[in-house]
Chain A
Amino acid sequence: MRVDPLKKSIWVFHLNTGSCNACDIEILDALTPYFDVERFGIKLVASPRHADLVLLTGPITRKTLPKVINALRAVPRPRYVLAIGACAVGGGIWYDTYSVIGGVEELKKILEENGIEIDRIVYVPGCPARPEAIIYGVAVLLGLVEQKVHGEVKIAE
């Protein structure tokens, strides 16, 4: 299915999947008048049904997994996910713990099995990610700025 890109302001839904709350506090910080993301049209909404972008924090614990799937299913297309923090990107310090599935990479596979498509995922590393890093992540997601990091392979002479 072809999905039209987002044309209007981006509304975000905050989804905590078992994070330590530091990343969540950074998200709240980004929403305060100090960073005032509403000047970019980024607005926090209370229901995933109203959201374009899901701000996902935490390594996705087994307990939260069914709820995460339900929440992501409720998001209308185009469906974007911003994986915030080391936990969401690669599992962080809990990446091989028994009780977590280990980040959005693993979640993507489970979602595919459930027939839920994510149109775009942007990974924001950091533990926690700075509010500026989150704003930058949204800009990368919307294609407003060029991504700075590129994987590289160096050879030691």
Chain B
Amino acid sequence: MSLKKLLKPFKLISIARRSGVVTVLYPYQKSLITTEFRGKISIDATKCMGCGACVNACPPNALTLSRRDDTIILNYFIGRCIFCGRCAEVCPVGAITVTHEFELASTSTRDLNESLVHRIERCSGCGGGLGATSRMLQYVILHSPASENYVHLCPDCRKKKLIQSLAMKMGARTEDYEG
């Protein structure tokens, strides 16, 4: 065996000493997470109004909106989320925050679902479902105060109200229209 081959381990030791220990001690040490790192999103149940803007923006449809009876359900499936943060960008009320949470491993996909249930408002005229949550109505009123008079009515009742007010202007008696 040549001398060079014999000395190889010593050479390696000297290289290793120079570079030192690089191995991180995770899980016994906090992992390196920069401020830009995007993990799981968190939806603030006290702010979200169930508008679905995030659902439209979500590329893999990790966020879905479904309607069951009197509720609107916003479901977040972490398993499909690509942690792009677009939902947080588009949310009009800033209900979504991107957290640094990445330890999301789970033994079943059921544990990877988070739901937020909203109750829908009823039309103040006929009592039918309105398709909007009370927070949505508040949001609309806040941004366009003129809508306050008809925002609590369903489209049918709104039409009725418009026709009634037009007819009143033209001098008709309202009883004729209510049949």
On A, residues with C-beta under 8 Å from B are 33-36, 39, 86, 89-93, 95-96, 103, 105, 120-127, 129-130, 132-133, 135-137, 139-141, 145, 147-157
B103 interface neighbour in A39, A90, A91, A148, Cβ under 8 Å: A148
- Select which of A93, A126, A127, A157 is within 8 A of B46 by beta carbon: A157
If A92-B82, A105-B109, A132-B26 touch, does A156 touch B50 (CB 8 Å cutoff)? yes
B117 touches A92 (CB 8 A): no
Question: Is the pair A89, B115 in contact by a Cβ cutoff of 8 Å?
Answer: no
Among B40, B62, B117, which residue has its beta carbon within 8 angstroms of that of A155? B117
Are A35 and B24 CB-contacts (below 8 A) given A147-B111, A156-B48, A156-B118? yes
Which residues of B are in contact with A by a Cβ distance under 8 Å? 22-24, 26-27, 31, 40, 43, 45-46, 48-50, 59-62, 77-83, 101-119, 133, 135
B105 touches A122 (CB 8 A): yes
User: How far apart are B68's CB and chain A's nearest CB, in angstroms?
Assistant: 12
Nearest-neighbour CB distance to chain A for B66, whole angstroms, equals 13
Contact B81 A156 (CB under 8 A): no
Do the beta carbons of B80 and A91 come within 8 Å of each other?
Answer: yes
Tell me the complex Cα distance, A133–B40, Å. Answer: 12
Would you call B80 and A148 a contact (CB within 8 A)?
no
Residue on B nearest A132 in the bound complex, by CB? B31
* Inter-chain contacts of A93 with B (CB < 8 A): 59-60, 82
